[in-house]
Amino acid sequence: MLCEVCKENDVVITVTEIDGNGVRQVRLCEQCAAERGLQASVSAPPAAIGDFLQSVQQHIPPSQTDAVRCSFCASTLRDFRQTGRLGCPYCYTAFEQSLRDLLRKVHGQGQHRGREYSAAQGALEAPIPVSPDRLRERLERAIRNEEFELAASLRDQLRAIE
């Protein structure tokens, strides 16, 4: 197959480009790929895929789901888009739908086929537990704001966990 740009050399790489018109695939020869800064230069290895993910994520227009908050660590989907990192294991449940699509794109597949782990299996389908640190934080805030009824209930919850 010939390069789509110079139409002379053989294709060595397929590049997925994203612009205003959507996603398209371009097949390039080594030379044309190099001109677009895609050549695997010896001195500069490719950016870590995590960083790449982050840069792609930052270009996705904000949507309503961005404000969804994980009830365990209080991260939002927007936080994830900015840092490329999730806040806690429960974020995977909180942002399940968005992550499912993303994981398919990144890994080509979405279902885990490696080692099965039984000790914790199903644990994440249970209601998300509340972290004691988060509770403590809310308790302090409630006391500061003189919301004593709320504070009492939070203190009881905290005692129950600890």
Q: Which residues bind other proteins (CB under 8 A)?
A: 12-14, 30, 33-34, 39-50, 53, 72-73, 75, 83-89, 92-93, 99-100, 102-103, 106-115, 117, 119-125, 129, 131, 133
Give me the least distance between CB of 148 and other proteins, in Å please: 25
Q: How far apart are CA 147 and CA 137, in angstroms?
A: 14
| Per-state percent for the chain, helix, strand, coil, to nearest 5 | 45, 10, 45
Rounded least distance, CB 42 to other proteins, Å: 6
At its nearest, how many Å lie between other proteins and the CB of residue 109?
Answer: 3
Structure tokens given for 55: 């840069």
User: Helices 49-58 and 96-107, interaxial angle, to 10°?
Assistant: 130
Closest to other proteins by CB, 89 vs 157, is: 89
E strand or H helix at 22, and its extent? strand 22-28
Least separation in angstroms between residue 28's CB and other proteins is 10
Nearer to other proteins, 5 or 88 (CB): 88
**Which C-beta is closer to other proteins: that of 20 or that of 120?**
120
Q: Distance between CA 73 and CA 84 in Å, rounded?
A: 16
